[in-house]
Structure 1
Amino acid sequence: MNIQFNKVLEKAQEYKDNISKFLRDMIAIPSESCREKEVILRIKEEMEKVGFDKVEIDPMGNILGYIGHGKHIIAMDAHIDTVGVGDSSLWEYEPYKGYEDDEIIIGRGASDQEGGMASMVYAGKIIKDLGLEDDYTLIITGTVQEEDCDGLCWQYLINESGIKPEFVVITEPTSLNVYRGQRGRMEIKVTTKGLSCHGSAPERGENAIYKMAPILNQLKALHENLYVDEFLGKGSLTVSEVFFTSPSRCAVADSCTISIDRRLTWGETWEGALQEIRNLPGVKSVNAEVSMYNYEKPAYTGLVYPTECYFPAWVVEEEHGACQTVVKAYEELFNNKPLVDKWTFSTNGVSIMGRYGISCIGFGPGHEDQAHAPNERTWKDELVKCAAMYAVIPKIYVNKYAK
């Protein structure tokens, strides 16, 4: 296989300052979903600077950097959009200026997940520096709109661009553990209808908010009794939003809608999740409407790529070559065995593996509990170790596990 793993680690350490600066530059550019243009251009600049063979931006606005020209297509993915800042008073440092010392980098996107992009780009440079190309083409993707609609970017890449890798590494934060699955999710709405009238005589109407009240309690009880999978854990649901319509504050509400964040464990289906809610006595008694949301927001390029808000669960078996590739890379570089586990949250794997059956494995810098949190941070040693991992994974895969 001819990989000098110590040389890879030395190179990764050599680029520690470059990786850190690149990440700080990305953090400094606000890049919430559908507003990622400037950070995409900054990534393009860095990819070209370190010597990628080809760099392109697709019509949705995703950036794709190519290393090598071999027959085995391998991809590594980082979504480069972030959530907003939230309550700025909870931040010790300005979220986009951030903070840096010898060990950590703080700022919005540090762990979730621009750190993964910084490590991937310099993995490309390590591959070039050490001649680690082989019979593979590595596509490093910086994808958009994940925070709004996870996996939409990969629906576009697979369906419209025809990119179908054999194996994808997702660089969401894993604390340097190897992740091989996650629960799926759905965005569901339930609507009750009423009849408005003047609030001084509510008996003349039908209050849609009152009709929703028993449904809320039944949903809470449903959550407690959802299916439990041995690996991915329990399905869950929570009511996340409440809306209503009414002619005025002095009137009876004529509609009420709630949003439900439904997490699907292995073995659950979107049809079954909707039917569980439709079967609730409160839903049946008032003939409430139960449906999935759709996503139709335009990308920063203006492209609209509609999809239903269903994001399947996925699991890769631990013995699968994709998982064993990442485990082998870790063992060779760090002379230790990694923890093989799963994410709590959702990733672009909902499309890559969940919709299309393309094996994907998670390995990324940063910690899951930093995602969406104030004072979000990542650790420089993890950025360096991930750059080394990403540099050796493609060659290990094509030499040991590719078919």
Structure 2
Amino acid sequence: MATGLDSDYLNAGLDRTQICKIEFREKGDATLESNFPKVLELAKKYEPEMTRFLRDMIAIPSESCQEEKVILRIKAEMEKAGFDKVTIDPMGNILGTIGHGKHLIAMDAHIDTVGVGNPDNWQYDPYKGHEDNEVIIGRGGSDQEGGMASMVYAGKIIKELGLEDDYTLAVVGSIQEEDCDGLCWQYILKEDILKPEFVVITEPTDGKIYRGHRGRMEIKVTTKGISCHGSAPERGDNAIYKMAPILSELRALHPNLKDHPFLGKGSLTVSEIFHTSPSRCAVADSCWISIDRRLTAGESGEYAMQQIKNLPAVKAAGAEVTMYTYERPSYTGLVYPTESYFPTWLIEENHPVCSTLTDTYRGLFKTEPVLDKWTFSTNGVSIMGRYGIPCIGFGPGHEDQAHAPNEKTWKKELVQAAAMYAVIPSLYVRRYADKMPSNTENLMKIGQ
């Protein structure tokens, strides 16, 4: 039987969800913590639905620039879960929102995947997939459609328990990350004008909280020559020979790059080599290489480019050093060109955003979280690396499953992530929103 405030609210014509929402706001932090067991219970209850949704996404091939069908499947699930608004922007990213509060919080999952590679290396069909009591196997399970499944059902939990507070939660399904990490968020921040106070990146973290990773660049080095008949090579100028000492100096540069105690060492590798020549019986008149350059703290894009330009062999050959540009159309046909520069980012361990996640983890799971970093790159290169918006990482799956045959994710991690995502916004508003810096001066200075 309803009594006290409950009775008053019922007499006012409010339903149970509306009453929960009002009481949640009025009773404060203690009410939030009292909801932790209910959040975990619902997250576990929705495991079958999350599993089915994830398998539906896996079944839809969604390589970069081919994501339309999986975006529409996500839209249907968001609407079913009760999101307040679901939109698809002109680039093709999907944004589902819950709440109308003043604190804008975003959570991101890129929903494009890489291809399957050699199908013979898969034990199961990469799109039909496979599941047992513990794991789901299929392309995109860990990298990273599992994050989307957990986010959508976190939204459902928020609605069901009335956990809406003075925040607006934006759940983002971003595209083209595998092709050009962060491009989607360049568009979202500059064109959609979405400016969250922080972003949770749901790439796989193996149950840990990740607070950054190295950046990267895609660099092109070109040498020019003069072609002639291969029977008399002295008449020409061989561009491949000009490249040879450059390759040696690049190899020698790698072990001398900067190191960082948390993020690790900068790295460099030559990943591709090409040439032009009138025929196989001619001297090459141009040669160019691609360099995959990973950037640690203290290595900016300009710094890394200048390192290569200063190599004696580069100067002697008159080689051109440039950065690649990405300009492939999205599935909607939109072209949004950008340099292939993806800045390093790292958030401090005592930053309010990091504390939000560690408090949430402790409260839900009654144990201490492990703080770590990704080896690979994420959309954080734009969100925090370019624009200084704080990022933090927590997602289902394991990094070593990314791009691998027989990629899998773990059902228990889908449940844990859904619980985390359901609590993070309210805990942030209650404990840390008023502790956020007015600017990004206390964020670790990367690439300076």
TM bracket, shorter-chain basis: over 0.9
> What are the superposed Cα offsets for residues 159-194 of structure 1, whole Å, 9 maximum, x if unpaired?
111100001100000001001111111100000111
Q: C-alpha root-mean-square deviation of aligned residues, in Å? A: 0.7
C-alpha displacement of 1:337: 0.5
Partner-residue secondary structure (3-state), 1:218: helix
| Match of residue 278 from structure 1 | 309
| Match of residue 317 from structure 1 | 348
Q: Distance in 1 between matches of 2:127 and 2:236?
A: 51
1:227 aligns with 2:265: no
C-alpha displacement of 1:387: 0.4
C-alpha displacement of 1:307: 0.7
Q: Which residue type is aligned with residue 191 of structure 2?
A: E
Moved more, 380-389 or 208-217: 208-217
Partner-residue secondary structure (3-state), 2:418: helix
| Match of residue 390 from structure 2 | 359
C-alpha displacement of 1:207: 1.3
Map 1:7-156 onto structure 2 (within 5 A).
7-156=38-187
C-alpha displacement of 1:30: 0.6
- Structure 1 stretches (4+) deviating beyond 2 angstroms? none
Q: Distance in 1 between matches of 2:106 and 2:348?
A: 19
1:166 aligns with 2:197: yes
**Where do 5+ consecutive residues of structure 1 fail to align?**
none
Partner-residue secondary structure (3-state), 1:402: helix
C-alpha displacement of 1:214: 1.2
> What are the superposed Cα offsets for residues 5-42 of structure 1, whole Å, 9 maximum, x if unpaired?
11100000000000001000000101011110000000
| Match of residue 440 from structure 2 | none
Q: Distance in 1 between matches of 2:212 and 2:81?
A: 32
C-alpha displacement of 1:213: 1.1
Q: Distance in 2 between matches of 1:226 and 1:50?
A: 48
C-alpha displacement of 1:303: 0.6
Q: Distance in 2 between matches of 1:173 and 1:251?
A: 49
Q: Which has the higher Rg, Structure 1 or Structure 2?
A: 2
| Match of residue 319 from structure 2 | 288
Q: Which residue type is aligned with residue 67 of structure 1?
A: I
Q: Distance in 1 between matches of 2:209 and 2:52?
A: 26
Q: Distance in 2 between matches of 1:395 and 1:21?
A: 28
Q: Which residue type is aligned with residue 67 of structure 2?
A: E
Q: Distance in 1 between matches of 2:318 and 2:161?
A: 65
**Where do 5+ consecutive residues of structure 2 fail to align?**
1-28, 435-448
Q: Distance in 1 between matches of 2:144 and 2:240?
A: 39
Q: Distance in 2 between matches of 1:280 and 1:271?
A: 15
| Match of residue 373 from structure 1 | 404
What's the TM-score once normalised by structure 2's chain length? 0.89
Partner-residue secondary structure (3-state), 2:257: coil
> What are the superposed Cα offsets for residues 332-372 of structure 1, whole Å, 9 maximum, x if unpaired?
01000110111111100011111111111000000011111
Moved more, 47-56 or 88-97: 88-97
1:239 aligns with one of 259, 270, 274:
270
Q: Distance in 2 between matches of 1:243 and 1:89?
A: 29
Q: Distance in 1 between matches of 2:68 and 2:196?
A: 25
Q: Distance in 2 between matches of 1:202 and 1:28?
A: 55
Q: Which residue type is aligned with residue 198 of structure 2?
A: F
| Match of residue 5 from structure 2 | none
1:305 aligns with 2:336: yes
Q: Distance in 2 between matches of 1:94 and 1:199?
A: 49
1:258 aligns with one of 284, 289, 307:
289
Partner-residue secondary structure (3-state), 1:273: helix
Q: Distance in 2 between matches of 1:164 and 1:394?
A: 15
Percentage identity across aligned positions? 74
C-alpha displacement of 1:139: 0.2
Q: Distance in 2 between matches of 1:350 and 1:85?
A: 25
Partner-residue secondary structure (3-state), 2:223: strand
Aligned residues: 403
1:349 aligns with 2:371: no
Q: Distance in 1 between matches of 2:433 and 2:64?
A: 35
Partner-residue secondary structure (3-state), 2:358: helix
Partner-residue secondary structure (3-state), 1:304: coil
1:339 aligns with 2:370: yes
Q: Distance in 1 between matches of 2:246 and 2:128?
A: 45
> What are the superposed Cα offsets for residues 180-224 of structure 1, whole Å, 9 maximum, x if unpaired?
111111100000111111122222111111111111111111111
Q: Distance in 2 between matches of 1:107 and 1:204?
A: 56
C-alpha displacement of 1:293: 0.5
> What are the superposed Cα offsets for residues 38-73 of structure 1, whole Å, 9 maximum, x if unpaired?
000000010001110000000000000001110000
> What are the superposed Cα offsets for residues 52-95 of structure 1, whole Å, 9 maximum, x if unpaired?
00000000000000011100000000000011111111111111
Q: Distance in 1 between matches of 2:309 and 2:397?
A: 40
Partner-residue secondary structure (3-state), 1:317: coil
